Amino acid sequence: MATLPSLNGLRAFEAAARHLSFTAAAEELHVTQTAISHQIRRLEEQLGRRLFERRNRSLALTPDAEAYLPAVRAAFEDLRQATARLQRSGRDDVLTVSTTASLAAKWLITRVAAFQAAHAGIEVRITTSSQLVDFRRDQVDMAVRYGRGSWPGLHAAWLMAEDIFPVCSPALLRGEHPLRRPEDLAHHNLLHVTSGPEDWQMWLTAAGLPRSLAERRGLTFDQSFMAMEAAIEGVGVALGRSRFAETDIAAGRLVAPFDVRLPTDAGYYIVAPAQTADTPKIALFRDWLVASTRPEEDVAKQAAGVHRKPRKLRAPRLPPPGIAG
């Protein structure tokens, strides 16, 4: 088994290689330039390889050093992250929650504020991403994601379901082509989201309209909340999700012009690594968040923007979504 070289020598090598300067490396590590030179020389002796070439007033890596540097850099980064995780794990007062930008902006933020008011001893940090969560790498305690609840190695707790239905500015209920029936969508821009390219086609099919309407015209956004904002501004008609749209509908910024709502066959889950899912701070926030959705069972119906009971249609089968949702 190969003997590991001096840790101080490796630190000096990584810093000097990054800066291509012994002077800058010395300043970063708070030692003298002479100390850096000695550490590098000792490391070269231990490895039996030259690592740097001195060229007039510049410094260059040898081919051996260029091949060695990525592994050394990765090892130090792993140490930094492991140290950060260790320090963070000892802080029961900080909880990092990951979710999508749309869910954070339209649903989660107000609930986090209410949670912190009730539990002042815990600081909740929200991070947003549409990518899959790597809990160790991203230093995330828990996530709220859309899917079907089956992710290997993760504990998933059901949070809430949702429906999808068209929403628009109240101004579109008037004008040259007022929105009164689903057929009237032929005269308006449809607003799409890249994470749900088939949502409009599924809703149109469920409403008995040709799927080709979804291909006629429209704008596409990479985040649901951006499509919702465009709908508020009267740019077109978005296919809203009940949890994203309910606040804007209740405030009168959006209306649901039709009584056709399409339930999805997936939902939102609170997920965390199985080995940490029941730690006190995670369990506290999870249970509180789940409880906060219970009074909302009838919110979407009350705020639908219409006075008749929405018709819920059978959802066409959706492809299995990833945890990013």
Burial class (CB in 10 A: 0-12, 13-18, 19+), 94: middle
Burial class (CB in 10 A: 0-12, 13-18, 19+), 38: middle
Residue 297 confidence (pLDDT):
45
pLDDT digits (tens, 9 = 90+) for 209-260: 898 888 876 789 988 889 999 999 999 999 988 878 888 999 999 999 998 8
Q: Running DSSP on this structure, what letter comes out for residue 48?
A: T
Average pLDDT over residues 276-292: 92
**154-160, strands of its sheet edge to edge:** 123-128, 94-99, 142-147, 267-273, 154-160
DSSP 202-258: HHHHHTT--GGGGGTSEEEESSHHHHHHHHHTTS-EEEEEHHHHHHHHHTTS-B--S
Amino acid at 75: A
Under the banding of pLDDT at 50, 70 and 90, the label for residue 198 is confident
Quick check: 286 pLDDT over 80? yes
Tell me whether strands 260-263 and 311-312 are parallel, antiparallel or unpaired: parallel
Structural domains of the chain ordered from first start: 7-89 (1.10.10.10), 91-325 (3.40.190.290)
Strand partners of residue 239:
166
Residue 307 confidence (pLDDT):
32
Cα gap 125→98, rounded to integer Å:
8
Quick check: 317 pLDDT over 80? no
Portion of the chain with pLDDT greater than 90, in percent: 45
Quick check: 314 pLDDT over 70? no
Residue 91 confidence (pLDDT):
59
Residue 222 confidence (pLDDT):
86
- Tokens 């020389």 correspond to 41
Q: Running DSSP on this structure, what letter comes out for residue 274?
A: T
Burial class (CB in 10 A: 0-12, 13-18, 19+), 246: buried
Strand partners of residue 191:
219, 238
Quick check: 323 pLDDT over 60? no
Rg (the chain; Cα; Å): 27
In 3D space, the residue among 203, 205, 192 whose CA is nearest the CA of residue 231 turns out to be 192
Quick check: 151 pLDDT over 70? yes
Cα gap 163→206, rounded to integer Å:
13
Residue pair 37/23 in contact (Cβ under 8 Å)? The answer is no
Residue 88 confidence (pLDDT):
59
Of 14-28, 68-82, 195-209, 297-311, the one with minimum mean pLDDT is 297-311
Tell me whether strands 218-221 and 190-193 are parallel, antiparallel or unpaired: parallel
Residue 24 confidence (pLDDT):
93
Under the banding of pLDDT at 50, 70 and 90, the label for residue 142 is very high
Amino acid at 4: L
Structure tokens at 278: 């029941």
Residue 116 confidence (pLDDT):
87
Q: Running DSSP on this structure, what letter comes out for residue 153?
A: T
pLDDT digits (tens, 9 = 90+) for 61-108: 999 999 999 999 999 988 887 776 666 555 568 899 999 888 898 889
Strand partners of residue 151:
none
pLDDT digits (tens, 9 = 90+) for 35-57: 999 999 999 999 999 999 988 77
Residue 39 confidence (pLDDT):
95
